[in-house]
Amino acid sequence: MTADCNPSRTIDSVTIGQTVPELVIPITRTMIVATSLASRDYEDVHHNPDRAREKGSADIFMNILTSNGLVERYVRGWSGPAAQLTTLKIRLGVPNYPGDTMRLNAKVSAIDSGTGRVVLDVTGSNSLGTHLGGTAELQFGPVLRL
């Protein structure tokens, strides 16, 4: 997994329609279990294959908190430290199962140079189709540290 981290990205270097380099993430059983436990999501469908099947799933599957975290990592890796992620809105589609691969892609859909606001349309897909879709809003400019 690699991400295009550009610590010097500025609002002036971003254009509408610009694509963010794809991030490819192998989905492993360990990743699904570990990230669901790390996010305190103890729902059995994320760690117990038998219970997941009893509830109608083909196997255990990734939780939404992990999907959100991976999108945040992807977007912030592209924007660099000079931007803050202010809004993340995603909706889930098909599950991420162990043994599959998720591909994250994004495109700049809006820019407000006056305020430093940039909106990315984000998608995550796997062999079953679209796992997630949504938007990420970034604020470019000086990052205030408290």
Q: What is the per-residue pLDDT across 48-67, written as a single tens digit (0 to 9) for each?
A: 999 999 999 999 999 999 99
pTM of the model: 0.89
- Here the CATH number for the domain that contains residue 81 is 3.10.129.10
Burial of 44 (0-12, 13-18, 19+ CB in 10 A): middle
**What's the total number of domains in the chain?**
1
**Residue-number span of the structural domain to which 104 is assigned:** 11-140
Burial of 138 (0-12, 13-18, 19+ CB in 10 A): buried
| Structure-block tokens of residue 88 | 């993340």
The pLDDT, as a whole number, for residue 42 is: 86
Q: Place 4 in a pLDDT band, splitting at 50, 70 and 90.
A: low
Between these two residues, 22 and 5, which has the higher pLDDT value? 22
Q: Give 90-121 pLDDT, tens digit per residue.
A: 999 999 999 999 999 999 999 998 899 999 99
- How confident is the prediction for the chain on average, in pLDDT? 92
Q: How far apart are CA 106 and CA 129, in angstroms?
A: 16
Element holding 139 (H helix, E strand): strand 129-140
Residue 42 lies in a domain: yes
Q: How far apart are CA 91 and CA 55, in angstroms?
A: 21
The pLDDT, as a whole number, for residue 72 is: 97
Q: Give 26-44 pLDDT, tens digit per residue.
A: 999 999 999 999 998 888 8
Residue 29 lies in a domain: yes
Residue 34 lies in a domain: yes
What does DSSP say about strands 83-92 and 101-112: parallel, antiparallel, or unpaired?
unpaired
| Structure-block tokens of residue 82 | 């000079």
* Pair 84, 115: CB distance under 8 Å: no
